[in-house]
Amino acid sequence: MSNASLLSIDKVTKIYRTSERAFIPGLADLYEKTRDLGDLRKTFSAKKLLSAYRDIKTVVESKAEEFRRKDSVLQRARFLRELIVKEDEFAVTALLNVSLDIRQGEFLALAGPSGSGKSTLLNIIASLEQPTYGQVLFEGRNLEDLSEDDRSDFRRLNLGFVFQAFNLIPVLSAYENIEYALILKEVSPPERRERVWEGLRYVGLENCAHRRPSKLSGGQQQRVAIARALAASPKLILADEPTANLDSKTAAGILDLMQKINRDRGTTFLFSSHDALILERARRVVHLRDGSILSDDKNASLVAHEAASVS
């Protein structure tokens, strides 16, 4: 495995700010949960309610002159809403100061429960979302400096994606689904044919080339998705819960294939998963909790076993 850094994540923080449209339904939900007076008392003490009222009253009174200058009832209502409902007060931090260095050829998993920040981190790495703070460097290039068109080119030229739901185009055959990724990359027709058949042979599906996804099993569909991801020769494959819709035997086969790709081609894999099967096979597991890195561990027994196999 190369020692070269492929991806460097430096103190990435992602904050989602909710608007009053999200806040108002939240009040309705709170009301439903606290219809019983006893529950209400447990949720809010009279002291807290009085303090909140005084805070709002102070804010509104401090802006009384500005309020009177508003020409219409609608403008006054909007002004009051903006005073009382502040977006920053209802912000959700999905990632907090996450730093991570991924080297070429790694087979790495992000682990953690739902809501831990795994998918958000994958989206930021794929430049589908931008961090609120911090930076992501791919081969030394800051992704935040890219325009929208450049981000699209970055994904097309460097990344492959394997999803939980396969995301195949239902009206296209297995062959055409793989070919489509190469059309986007503007590969010539003769080279497309060669690379599509190579991909189908590699995943063991050359006999299923002309079947549509509805005629393929879940495992076969995921193999087509892997062949599609491989077709463009990506440097990094992002796999978001790739075994979630598969039985354990099929999932093991898919992971065997991914490990083979990693060994044969040196393709870097980054998984987002809480599947024990993936975590057991990953050479390195980064555990996330509440948007922060809890631990970053190498699978020592697996690394030692692979080193012994090579020697």
CB atoms within 10 A of CB 58: 10
Confidence of residue 92 (pLDDT cuts 50, 70, 90): confident
Q: Is the pLDDT of residue 281 over 90?
A: yes
Mean predicted lDDT score pLDDT of the chain: 82
Q: Is residue 17 part of a domain?
A: no
Q: Is residue 55 part of a domain?
A: no
User: Which pLDDT score, from 0 to 100, does residue 165 have?
Assistant: 82
User: Which pLDDT score, from 0 to 100, does residue 87 have?
Assistant: 46
Question: How much is the average pLDDT of 80-103?
Answer: 75
Nearest residue to 230 (alpha-carbon basis) of 170, 274, 185: 185
The CATH number that applies at residue 234 is 3.40.50.300
Report the domain count for the chain: 1
Q: Is residue 165 part of a domain?
A: yes
Please tell me the least confidently modeled range out of 19-28, 90-99, 184-193.
Answer: 19-28
Q: Which residues pair with 12 in a beta bridge?
A: 98
What tens digit of pLDDT does each residue of 7-28 get?
A: 999 999 998 765 544 444 444 5
User: Which pLDDT score, from 0 to 100, does residue 23 have?
Assistant: 46
Q: Is the pLDDT of residue 66 over 90?
A: no
Q: 139-147 long-range contacts, Cβ below 8 Å, gap at least 24?
A: 139/5, 139/6, 139/235, 140/5, 140/8
User: Which pLDDT score, from 0 to 100, does residue 25 have?
Assistant: 47
Q: Is residue 74 part of a domain?
A: no
Which of 61-70, 176-185, 263-272 ranks highest by mean pLDDT? Answer: 263-272
Question: How much is the average pLDDT of 198-219?
Answer: 92
User: Which pLDDT score, from 0 to 100, does residue 106 have?
Assistant: 96
Please tell me the least confidently modeled range out of 51-65, 140-154, 184-198.
Answer: 51-65
User: Which pLDDT score, from 0 to 100, does residue 142 have?
Assistant: 94
Residue 129, token pair as written in the block: 């979302």
Domain range enclosing 172? 104-129+147-310
User: Which pLDDT score, from 0 to 100, does residue 306 have?
Assistant: 56
Question: How much is the average pLDDT of 45-69?
Answer: 68
User: Which pLDDT score, from 0 to 100, does residue 244 have?
Assistant: 86
One DSSP character per residue, 123-192 reads HHHTTSS--SEEEEEETTEEGGG--HHHHHHHHHHHEEEEETT----TTS-HHHHHHHHHHHTT--HHHH
Q: Is residue 67 part of a domain?
A: no
Q: Is residue 62 part of a domain?
A: no
What tens digit of pLDDT does each residue of 108-144 get?
A: 999 998 888 999 999 999 999 999 999 999 999 999 9
User: Which pLDDT score, from 0 to 100, does residue 1 have?
Assistant: 47
* 15 contact partners, CB below 8 Å, separation of at least 6: 91, 92, 93, 94, 132
Q: Is residue 118 part of a domain?
A: yes
Helix (H), strand (E) at residue 259:
helix 248-265
Residue 17, token pair as written in the block: 């700010």
Residue 86, token pair as written in the block: 């502040």
Q: Is residue 207 part of a domain?
A: yes
Question: How much is the average pLDDT of 93-115?
Answer: 93
